[in-house]
Amino acid sequence: MSEHKEQKFVYDFTEGNRDLKDLLGGKGANLAEMTNLGLPVPPGFTITTEACKVYLASGDEPAALRDEVGAHLDALEKTMGKKLGQADDPLLVSVRSGAKFSMPGMMDTVLNIGLSDKSVQGLAKQSNNERFAWDSYRRLIQMFGKTVLGVDGELFEDALDKAKEAKKVTVDTDLEAADLKKLVTRFKKIVKTEAGRDFPQDAREQMDLAIHAVFDSWNTDRAKLYRRQERIPGDLGTAVNICSMVFGNLGPDSGTGVAFTRDPASGHAGVYGDYLQDAQGEDVVAGIRNTVPLADLENIDKKSYDQLMQIMETLETHYKDLCDIEFTIERGQLWMLQTRVGKRTAAAAFRIATQLVDQGLIDEAEALQRVNGAQLAQLMFPRFDEDAKAEKIARGIAASPGAAVGKAVFDSYTAIKWSRSGEKVILIRRETNPDDLEGMIAAEGILTSRGGKTSHAAVVARGMGKTCVCGAEELEVDTKRRRLTVNGTVIEEGDVVSIDGSTGKVYAGEVPVVPSPVVEYFEGRMHAGADDADELVAAVHRIMAYADRVRRLRVRANADNAEDALRARRFGAQGIGLCRTEHMFLGERREMVERLILADTDEEREQALNTLLPLQKKDFIELFEAMDGLPVTVRLLDPPLHEFLPDITELSVRVALAESRKDANENDLRLLQAVHKLHEQNPMLGLRGVRLGLVIPGLFAMQVRAIAEAAAERKNAKGDPRAEIMIPLVGTVQELEIVKDEADAVIAEVEAATGTNLKLTIGTMIELPRAALTAGQIAEAAQFFSFGTNDLTQTVWGFSRDDVEASFFTAYLEKGIFGVSPFETIDKDGVGSLVRSAVEAGRATRPDLKLGVCGEHGGDPESVHFFHEVGLDYVSCSPFRIPVARLEAGRAAAESKGSDSR
């Protein structure tokens, strides 16, 4: 523990700044920043994430923390002129969680710390409002009981409902001081029975217990789930903010609200937010009472409104970005409780980035960092067809864009259950709370009847990129009977509904979808400068153009036919990085492969190959034409041969039945023999890739001939074919040398016969650990490497790529062994380090070795950054992911340039 002695665990708001998010969490760092900007922030201090880490690791707070908190509390008491819990005029504080990354509603907060049986009287006197004092006290016991002492929150809710029933009122604000006093007695009894202890009357004890509860809330199941979903590391810990209380529930001249410096859905400047009079902050986020638009505050309290507008401008200019804000007005005095760079929709991210460039606040390089590939991918989703006849049943708030269609479900459990069995569902709730998180993840979209743009549903859905319509007030959601009613229409559980998170419209039944304008733009069917181009398309165009200008990585496509190749080209592909030729042997051609496998004699084999040759050649001519002038990497046959043969069980049954009828067919018998011969326990580690080429005479030679003849034909037709021949699954240079010698001979033959110089290059995939480990040797026979990170991940981890994701990966993810599947994002430490060393060894042998990647990782944003960093020449991915790869390659280049010059 001694090393923690010197460490500073507590920072006054005046001591921090926005760059200290690792230490003070986002909320703490920004409260400090606002304090230092001279904005009205209630005084307070922040306990660091380091203190939380010590607590979580050892089960106890660092030894120095108690005294340090004490010293800061003393200072705060001096500033405020009153002591925590002081009987005649208590200082009250809030204890709030705040991690580096925002985790809305996931962790705990306790307000009104410092109230006790004695100090509640003092508060009543000081505020001249007995009702307020007792309401604050009952809120403290309720929140403290639930979050700190682990009492079931329903018990308090039930008691509150009973109090309202007894009084024959419907809202809490109608309960009077005397009722609330009784309720406090009731609440204290609940605490005593359920927690086995009295509600603590000592203010410092309340505070310390609340701090521990906030630390503990880092590791609740829902917080862990959220982090996994958002890829937030599990070891960051949370900071704890202790802030003097200000009250929005002191009457009509008080209130609380949330605001954005511009519209988080469209990016447009304007007044966006919600305000709730006579309420505390939690009331707004929970969506319990309906808020009024922020603009209405101008009529309610013009002075505070004007001040808020000015502060919003200060913050946006200071942060150079959209900020979201929580504020409270206490008897006409405005207080800032929080600000942060606000979450936004994907479309708004692109728009805001270019708007800020136009305003001169940021440059293009910064604009590129303000968007990402995941957002771009989201913008490429289809939207509802506006011309379709659809039965609109309601309109709510467009909280998170997208078009979602699915069966109506009314609770999180059903959402999860149905989606696991493959159904698409829309989760419909009156309002959501953190317990709904799993259901929200499982659903296609979320629909609520209450709450504004800043309600839990809206904030969480936006964060997840999930379609959400909230506050559709016409809907009567009956979760008990599992149905909703709206103007006479009844939607039962299981009925299909469609929700449009871009317009807020809700439809009964399935509405057809149309492609997104961003895809129309990439397809070349909409032009960024044209009249019909919307602002979003223009923003995407500008940012993509900048990314293309700065990126070093080239982007190619994995495509096997001319149609995909042409689309890839329209999307900006600079060649084909992987043409999987096995796809050319399926369908009607499967039989020809069957004949090749069954061939007993050279003659039969040659015949089979000769029927395949012209078909292969035709495929390649089309492909080279589509990609004229750009490189096309053609991979020779890779999969285990049995994939072209009938299923072993089916065929065995067929033959057995035929034999029992005594009419077994000769071909079936031969086929069964071959199937048995080729059957492997581990086919992915068996006769495939280069091994096929070495074992089946003439197979690779036929493919090479088809490539060479196709290239020659294109050349003679004045085309510019740039074929590259790629050998899969090589483990040692000897394999490659044999295949290469054979291929060179075939190419020379074709060149001589056609009078061409084809300039074909021959390279290999690096997709086995041995290949990566001996890359220096392999480079002697290879003109290029393409990392097959799918197989490399499979073989480095010993994970069967076809099985593990469906079997035990969920358990691995839950246990935090990895945050994301290594088949999705490159495992930098393992697979990645092999890639890195193979790059170095390969280049040491052959300095002009061309290097690329064609595994799925080639289109994954995080992996693209890694491939940029290790110095590959290109990434190759499926056509639809090309824009994402282009954007991320640009971001990676801009980022490394930025860090070079720093």
Q: Which residues are catalytic?
A: 456, 854
Query: Which of Mg ion, ligand PEP, none does residue 698 bind to, with CB < 5 to 8 Å depending on kind?
Result: none
Q: By three-state DSSP, how is residue 228 classified?
A: helix
Contacts of 420 (CB under 8 A, 6+ apart): 442
Task: Please say which residue, 136 or 789, places its beta carbon nearer to ligand PEP.
Answer: 789
* Residue in 120, 100, 89, 88 with CA at minimum distance from that of residue 30: 100
Residue 852 binds ligand PEP, judged by CB under 6 A:
no
Element (H, E) at 896: helix 882-901
Q: Closest approach of Cβ 788 to ligand PEP, in Å?
A: 3
Residue 856 binds Mg ion, judged by CB under 5 A:
no
CB atoms within 10 A of CB 759: 13
Task: Please say which residue, 751 or 767, places its beta carbon nearer to ligand PEP.
Answer: 767
Q: 873 — alpha (psi -120 to 50), left (phi > 0) or beta?
A: alpha
User: In this structure, what token pair is assigned to residue 705?
Assistant: 């001939």
Contacts of 412 (CB under 8 A, 6+ apart): 427, 435, 436, 437, 438, 439, 440, 442
Q: Closest approach of Cβ 839 to ligand PEP, in Å?
A: 16
User: In this structure, what token pair is assigned to residue 589?
Assistant: 């051609």
Task: Please say which residue, 500 or 791, places its beta carbon nearer to ligand PEP.
Answer: 791
Task: Please say which residue, 293 or 683, places its beta carbon nearer to ligand PEP.
Answer: 683
Q: Closest approach of Cβ 640 to Mg ion, in Å?
A: 12
Determine the residue type at 892: A
Query: Which of Mg ion, ligand PEP, none does residue 281 bind to, with CB < 5 to 8 Å depending on kind?
Result: none
User: In this structure, what token pair is assigned to residue 563?
Assistant: 């149609």
Query: Which of ligand PEP, Mg ion, none does residue 578 bind to, with CB < 5 to 8 Å depending on kind?
Result: ligand PEP
Query: With CB under 6 A as the contact rule, which of the stretches 342-350, 422-430, 691-699, 784-792 interacts with ligand PEP?
Result: 784-792
Task: Please say which residue, 342 or 788, places its beta carbon nearer to Mg ion.
Answer: 788
User: In this structure, what token pair is assigned to residue 316?
Assistant: 């946006």
C-alpha 499/C-alpha 522 separation (Å) is 26
Q: By three-state DSSP, how is residue 507 classified?
A: strand
Query: With CB under 5 A as the contact rule, which of the stretches 12-20, 360-368, 642-650, 791-799 interacts with Mg ion?
Result: 791-799
Specify whether the CB–CB gap between 556 and 874 falls below 8 A.
yes
> Considering only residues 4, 204, 580, 828, which one is a binding residue for ligand PEP as defined by CB under 6 A?
580
> Could you identify the residue written with the tokens 């078009």?
403
Residue 854 binds ligand PEP, judged by CB under 6 A:
yes
User: In this structure, what token pair is assigned to residue 688?
Assistant: 């495939």
Question: What percent of the residues of the chain are helix, what percent strand, and what percent coil, each to the nearest 5?
Answer: 50, 15, 30
Contacts of 867 (CB under 8 A, 6+ apart): 553, 826, 835, 853, 857, 858, 875
Task: Please say which residue, 754 or 790, places its beta carbon nearer to ligand PEP.
Answer: 790
Q: Closest approach of Cβ 892 to ligand PEP, in Å?
A: 20
Residue 559 binds ligand PEP, judged by CB under 6 A:
no
Residue 862 binds Mg ion, judged by CB under 5 A:
no
Q: What is the dihedral of CA 701, 706, 711, 715, to 10 degrees?
A: 120
Query: With CB under 6 A as the contact rule, which of the stretches 283-291, 354-362, 675-683, 786-794 interacts with ligand PEP?
Result: 786-794
Specify whether the CB–CB gap between 873 and 850 falls below 8 A.
yes
Site string for ligand PEP, 331-360 (x = CB under 6 A): ------------------------------
Q: By three-state DSSP, how is residue 60 classified?
A: coil
Q: By three-state DSSP, how is residue 368 classified?
A: helix
Q: Closest approach of Cβ 387 to ligand PEP, in Å?
A: 40
Task: Please say which residue, 280 or 789, places its beta carbon nearer to ligand PEP.
Answer: 789
Query: Which of Mg ion, ligand PEP, none does residue 580 bind to, with CB < 5 to 8 Å depending on kind?
Result: ligand PEP
Distances (CA, A) of 31 to 17, 36, 87, 165: 8, 9, 29, 41
Specify whether the CB–CB gap between 633 and 786 falls below 8 A.
yes
Residue 458 binds ligand PEP, judged by CB under 6 A:
no
Residue 791 binds ligand PEP, judged by CB under 6 A:
yes
CB atoms within 10 A of CB 852: 28
User: In this structure, what token pair is assigned to residue 264?
Assistant: 């988080």
Specify whether the CB–CB gap between 700 and 687 falls below 8 A.
no
Query: Which of Mg ion, ligand PEP, none does residue 778 bind to, with CB < 5 to 8 Å depending on kind?
Result: none
C-alpha 376/C-alpha 518 separation (Å) is 9
C-alpha 44/C-alpha 77 separation (Å) is 10
Task: Please say which residue, 475 or 729, places its beta carbon nearer to ligand PEP.
Answer: 729
Specify whether the CB–CB gap between 18 and 37 falls below 8 A.
no
Query: Which of ligand PEP, Mg ion, none does residue 273 bind to, with CB < 5 to 8 Å depending on kind?
Result: none
Residue 832 binds ligand PEP, judged by CB under 6 A:
no
In this structure, the strands spanning 554-558 and 874-877 are parallel
Residue 767 binds Mg ion, judged by CB under 5 A:
yes
Query: Which of ligand PEP, Mg ion, none does residue 179 bind to, with CB < 5 to 8 Å depending on kind?
Result: none
C-alpha 618/C-alpha 710 separation (Å) is 7
C-alpha 460/C-alpha 225 separation (Å) is 13
Specify whether the CB–CB gap between 400 and 348 falls below 8 A.
no
Element (H, E) at 155: helix 153-167
Task: Please say which residue, 170 or 682, places its beta carbon nearer to ligand PEP.
Answer: 682
Q: Closest approach of Cβ 767 to ligand PEP, in Å?
A: 5
Task: Please say which residue, 137 or 823, places its beta carbon nearer to ligand PEP.
Answer: 823
Residue 790 binds ligand PEP, judged by CB under 6 A:
yes
Q: Closest approach of Cβ 735 to ligand PEP, in Å?
A: 16
What are the backbone dihedrals phi and psi of residue 450, each rounded to the nearest 5 degrees, phi first?
-135, 160
> Considering only residues 451, 788, 861, 883, which one is a binding residue for Mg ion as defined by CB under 5 A?
788
Residue 640 binds Mg ion, judged by CB under 5 A:
no
Query: Which of Mg ion, ligand PEP, none does residue 263 bind to, with CB < 5 to 8 Å depending on kind?
Result: none
> Considering only residues 631, 822, 855, 883, which one is a binding residue for ligand PEP as defined by CB under 6 A?
855
Site string for ligand PEP, 737-776 (x = CB under 6 A): ------------------------------x---------
Q: What angle do CA 31, 36, 38 make, to 5 degrees?
A: 100
Q: Applying CB under 6 A, what is the total number of residues that bind ligand PEP?
A: 10
Residue 791 binds Mg ion, judged by CB under 5 A:
yes
Query: With CB under 6 A as the contact rule, which of the stretches 138-146, 605-613, 711-719, 788-796 interacts with ligand PEP?
Result: 788-796
Task: Please say which residue, 619 or 767, places its beta carbon nearer to Mg ion.
Answer: 767
Query: Which of Mg ion, ligand PEP, none does residue 16 bind to, with CB < 5 to 8 Å depending on kind?
Result: none
Task: Please say which residue, 664 or 773, places its beta carbon nearer to ligand PEP.
Answer: 773
User: In this structure, what token pair is assigned to residue 132?
Assistant: 């307020």
* Residue in 60, 220, 202, 221 with CA at minimum distance from that of residue 118: 202
Query: With CB under 5 A as the contact rule, which of the stretches 306-314, 479-487, 733-741, 759-767 interacts with Mg ion?
Result: 759-767
Query: With CB under 6 A as the contact rule, which of the stretches 222-230, 309-317, 427-435, 787-795 interacts with ligand PEP?
Result: 787-795
Q: Closest approach of Cβ 822 to Mg ion, in Å?
A: 15
* 164 secondary structure, DSSP code: H
Site string for ligand PEP, 634-653 (x = CB under 6 A): ----x---------------
> Considering only residues 113, 246, 578, 584, which one is a binding residue for ligand PEP as defined by CB under 6 A?
578
Residue 789 binds ligand PEP, judged by CB under 6 A:
yes
* Residue in 511, 308, 543, 307 with CA at minimum distance from that of residue 404: 511
Residue 788 binds ligand PEP, judged by CB under 6 A:
yes
Task: Please say which residue, 431 or 767, places its beta carbon nearer to ligand PEP.
Answer: 767
Number of helices (H), then strands (E), belonging to the chain: the values are 36, 31
Binding interface with ligand PEP (CB under 6 A): 578, 580, 638, 767, 788-791, 854-855
Residues that bind Mg ion (CB under 5 A): 767, 788, 791
